[in-house]
Structure formats: structure tokens, C-alpha cells
Chain A
Amino acid sequence: EPEVTQTPSHQVTQMGQEVILRCVPISNHLYFYWYRQILGQKVEFLVSFYNNEISEKSEIFDDQFSVERPDGSNFTLKIRSTKLEDSAMYFCASRESPTANTEAFFGQGTRLTVV
């Protein structure tokens, strides 16, 4: 069964460093998302992406964050200068079509720890 794959599963980084979280969406999907969950809190929407541009972003997704689909298969989330409060589980998701009644498939997540 097709699945969304995220790498790495766990990343530890020093405050101020840049990190890139990688996702391989399902191959025929066109709509991509990043969500995050800080420990003990809700899963929060970060950004949606379609046709090589951001469709929508939350207030969390500030200038420190960027997304890219560099090669037609990977979908990356970059955090330029990590802060302690960026420590969270980051989930990538993809959808075949944008309509809300189609299933969003999620990856297993990347746990980012900023020290």
C-alpha cells in the first residue's frame, strides 16, 4: 500500500542551526501539508503546498520556515535557525485532490529536538 515516508525519524540539533525535514509523498498526490505537534499539545497546521507554491500557511509558519519540492518527489520543510520551541513532532501529509472529503495520508513523523 502506498505510504508517505518521512526522514529522519528523529533529529537532534543545536539551537540556531538549520534543519531540513524530508518527506516523500504518495506518487500521484498533488497536495502536500506539514503539521506539527509540540509534546502534550494539539497537532497544528503549518502549511499547505500545491503546484510549487504555498496555498495557505498558519501564523506559526514565519520567515524561519520554508517548504520546497526540489525534485518532483521530495517535499521538504526547512527551519533556518532553530529555537528551543521548535522542538516537536513534525508530520507530512499528502492528498490526491484538494477536496476536504478525500483522505489525507500522513507520514510517521519526524521528532525534532532542539538543544
Chain B
Amino acid sequence: AQSVTQLGSHVSVSEGALVLLRCNYSSSVPPYLFWYVQYPNQGLQLLLKYTTGATLVKGINGFEAEFKKSETSFHLTKPSAHMSDAAEYFCAVSGPGANSKLTFGKGITLSVRP
């Protein structure tokens, strides 16, 4: 069984500040980990993913995340927030098997203050 915990429902940062969105997972098999972003009235868009190999993964729009097995974490960061980053962010986990479904966290809404 797999699960994802995203603590808190809302994070607010100032433009130019560090963005840190936390994600912890539980998985009985080697996890594949994903961050998705949803802008208003749009679908879920893949930001980045970890499958195997390098534990620090870079995604679109300057985001990156680090897989830490010892902490069962996959936190999302961006050094400098931009107004356009305001959106809802979802962490998800799947197993490595074929046709594996995604198990999502509740999502975090990121607000960026001018």
C-alpha cells in the first residue's frame, strides 16, 4: 500500500523568496515519486518525477525535488518564487510496476505575495 502526506493546505511566500512544499510518502515497494501542478481551470501538469538514479531531480519552471529515502520525503523547492507560481501542487507516489496508479496527497495551495 502507498500513501502521501502533504502537511498544511496553504503556503504563502513573498515574490523572490524560497518555496518549500513538503511531501512525505509511505510505500512497501520502491517508490516512483511525482509532483504535479494545477493552475486555475487547467489540468494537472507534471512538474518533475523521480524514478531511479539521481536523487535530486529538476523539473520545469525552476523547481526541483530531492528524494530522501531515509526520511521518506520528496520535498519540492524553488529558490525564488514568481507570481506565476501561484497554483495548487500535488505530490504523488506510484509503484514501479506496469500500469501503476498514482496515489496523491491532498495538495497544497501556493500563494505568492508581491
Binding site for B on A (CB under 8 A): 3-4, 6, 9, 31, 33, 35, 37, 40-45, 48, 50, 55-56, 91, 93, 98-101, 103-109
Contact = CB atoms under 8 A, between A and B. Distances in A.
Contact of A106 (B4, B44, B95, B96): B44
Nearest to A107: B43
- Provide the main secondary structure of the chain B interface: loop
8 contacts: A42-B107, A43-B44, A43-B92, A48-B99, A55-B99, A100-B95, A104-B102, A106-B43
A50 to B, nearest CB: 7
B46 A33 contact: no
B51 to A, nearest CB: 4
A41 B106 contact: yes
Contact of B102 (A9, A45, A98): A45
Contact of A33 (B41, B45, B96, B101): B101
Assign chain B's interface to a size class. 20 to 34
5 tightest Cβ-Cβ pairs between the two chains A and B: A43-B104, A98-B99, A106-B44, A101-B51, A100-B100
Contacts of B101: 33, 45, 48, 56
Contacts of B97: 100
A42 B101 CA distance: 14
Contacts of B49: 101, 103
